[in-house]
Structure 1
Amino acid sequence: MESTIHQALETLNEEVDTIYLTVDMDVLDITNGAGAPVAAPGGMYTAELFDAVQLAGQHTKVRAMDIVCLDPRKDIGEMHVKAAAHTILSFLTGYCQQGK
């Protein structure tokens, strides 16, 4: 995962001035909750997502992030909502590490 993220960021680094990251919560495996409308078996584990967005947040051209495909009304036990909040915090951790 780490090498894929680095490769994508370096490719973008050569093409753009600013990188905006959108995290589609459907990327998570359905076992992590029902709050993502089309999540399916075989998706990412939450820890993998948290690591990926933190790594992306560390890149100096990454300036912002948003979350899509999250339906709190369908979530069971707020699992996806909590995963989304942790995803934002993981991104902000990486963002605060930029240039260090």
Structure 2
Amino acid sequence: MILRRLAIGLVFIVLSVLYVYIWQNGDLHSLFNINCYLGLGLWVVGSLFSGLFKDDTKLKFNMGHIPEEDQRRNIKFSGTMFLIGLPCIVTSIIIFTFVL
């Protein structure tokens, strides 16, 4: 499961590299920006679903408590978003450190 999610992140990197080299003439600043924003965006979406930005009451919009199954599903989804965004962030750090 973890390797499949990381592979999806690697597919995003390959697609961004192809985009930059075909339409942006190999501009590494664009590659850095695309991967950085994509990775950070996925991490923000994952943190929203994990409940990082909400209070501790665990209430739904109708003031009922969130069932454990929904909470588990949200945590699983946020972990998926983290793992998909991780290769993009690592690629951005490598590009920033060694190339730019």
Band of TM-score, shorter chain: 0.3 to 0.5
TM-score (norm 2): 0.33
More helix by share: 2
Q: What is the TM-score when the length of structure 1 is the normalising length? A: 0.33
Max Rg structure? 2
More strand by share: 1
**Relative contact order (C-alpha < 8 Å, sep 6+): which is higher?**
2
